Structures are given as C-alpha cells and as structure tokens.
Amino acid sequence: MPDTLVRAIGAYANIRCIAAVTTDLVEEARARHDTYPTATVALGRALTGGILLGGLLQGEERINLQINGRGPLRSIVVDADAFGHVRGFVRHPHIQVPLREGKISVKEAIGAGTLQVLKIQANQKEPYRGIVPLVSGEIAKDLTSYLVNSEQIPSAVALGVYIEGNNRVTASGGFIVQALPGAQDKDISIVEENISALPPCSEMILNGMGPRDIIMQVMNGIMIKFLEEKEISFQCRCSKERVVRIMIALGAAEIRDILAKEGEAKALCEFCKRDYVVTGDELRQLLEDIES
C-alpha cells in the first residue's frame, strides 16, 4: 500500500482530521541521508508533521518547518506542499543518543530551542512566519503548541516512527485533529477520550491500519465525511536548471573565478543529497550569454 494522506471532517463541519501513513517516504529519507536511528525518528516525525500541515494548504502554498535546538541533532528542516510532496534533512544525521526506558529520546537529541513555521504563497513576497519555543522536543507536542498559540486553533497532533533492528523504517505516520469554530463541547470531549485511549500511531500502522482507519478511531462516535485521499511521497524540488540559475545570479566575475580555480561547479542538495555538476563548457557558455 503506497503512502497516503486522508482528510475528513465531522458531519457538522466543526471538527476536522487529517491522517497519513508515511512509512515509505520516511524510509527513503533515511536511506538518502544515511540517518542513525535517533536522527531517523526525529526526521521521520518532522516529515510526517510537514505532510500533515501540507494537507491543510491550498493551491500553490508551501509550508516550511525549521526545528532549531541545542541538542546534538542541532536542526531539522522540512518543506511540504499542498500536493502531497515533502522533503527534509537533519543537520547531524549520524547522531544516536542512549535509549530511555527502551525508547529513543528525540527530546534529548533536539534539546531546548524553537520551532519556526513559514507559510509560503506564490503571490506574496513575504511568507507568514510563526515562531514558538519548543515545549517538548518530541515534535508532536511542539506542532500542537504552534497550532494552538500561533494559529489559535485547538488541535492535537500525534506522530510515530517505528524502526526494525536493521534500522529500516517499517511503520510511520500520524494525525492532526482540530476543533473548528462552532465545535460542540461534547464532540471535543469525545475526541479527547478517543485520543487518550489510542495506542501509538506506529503501533496502529504496524497492525495494518491506514489513514481512514486512524481517523475513524480518532473520531469514533462522530459522524464523518471523508473529503480527500491522495498518495504522498518524498519529492525534492531541486534541479540542474535551478543550479544554473544560481550560477547566473553569482555573476560573470564569480563564474570566471570558479573556472580558474575548479574548472567546473558542483552543488549538493541538502534536502535529497543529489549531486549536480555544471561543466567547464557549460560555465563558459553561461559567461558568453551573460556578457552578450
């Protein structure tokens, strides 16, 4: 079953829930970045959070999460859009902290710090920017804090990543549930009770549950209308053309300097670890184009 995101809303349009299974895309991120288990879980939770927040967007909007902490991981950056695409990286992928009560402590790996959220729209010069202190470091509670304090939307976020002994990701996913204007107290109480009784997201996914099943558990007792189901994936926006545009922006003098010292230009995408090379001949052609 491919990674999938599902959106649903209560029959009276007062509670919405988005759930996703992200196992394959988190495993792809692990393989691309060669992350150790602690970094894998942290990055996987952040990628899942990004894809869920992306499910709240419309059109050409994008969302960017930047988790900056004082722990050994230092930072995590995630970029997602409204079409089910997400990419991301962790600053120090080869970090492993000791297990705490048999569990990976993402909180310890990230440490105290901040969560910054950028909402980027194609027709706006400046993105919307929200910054909140990390209240947990476990990422799900930090995203909940952002939604409640910066967007003023009562929310609950749950994220989970499960790794096998061979370090492969075998279950990953999560959900966001939000009380919209007009939500009844009784419906909110039902959802709160449901969430408190749920097993971890990774356990539900390991047991074969998909996004629809998770939503039905979260909103059990409330009439549900399913709105959308779509496949999601780890997908980067980098390209050779973007690298060439960067070269042009550097200007003729900088291109000459690169030719003299290196003979060609190399670039590595932080998000997907793809290498790009602009050859000497291509740089000389760029120089001709700029000077003409």
**Distance in angstroms (rounded) separating the CA atoms of residues 64 and 43:** 14
Q: For each successive 10 residues of the chain (292 residues), what is the average pLDDT?
A: 94 92 98 97 98 94 97 98 97 93 93 96 86 96 96 96 94 97 93 98 98 98 96 97 94 94 96 96 93 84
pLDDT at 99: 87
pLDDT at 126: 86
Architecture of domain 240-291: Alpha-Beta Complex (3.90)
pLDDT at 194: 98
One of 3.10.450.750, 3.60.20.10, 3.40.50.1100, 3.55.30.10 is the CATH number of 4-234, namely 3.55.30.10
pLDDT at 36: 97
pLDDT at 123: 80
**Distance in angstroms (rounded) separating the CA atoms of residues 195 and 138:** 17
Domain residue ranges in the chain: 4-234, 240-291
Rg, Å, the chain Cα set: 21
pLDDT at 78: 98
pLDDT at 3: 98
How many CB atoms are located within 10 Å of the residue 224 CB?
17
pLDDT at 101: 85
List C-alpha distances in Å: 138 to 97, 107, 233, 282, 292: 14, 5, 23, 46, 54
| pTM of structure | 0.95
pLDDT at 258: 95
pLDDT digits (tens, 9 = 90+) for 10-19: 978 899 999 9
Give me the percent of the chain exceeding a pLDDT of 90.
91
List C-alpha distances in Å: 96 to 30, 37, 134, 169, 252: 14, 6, 20, 16, 44
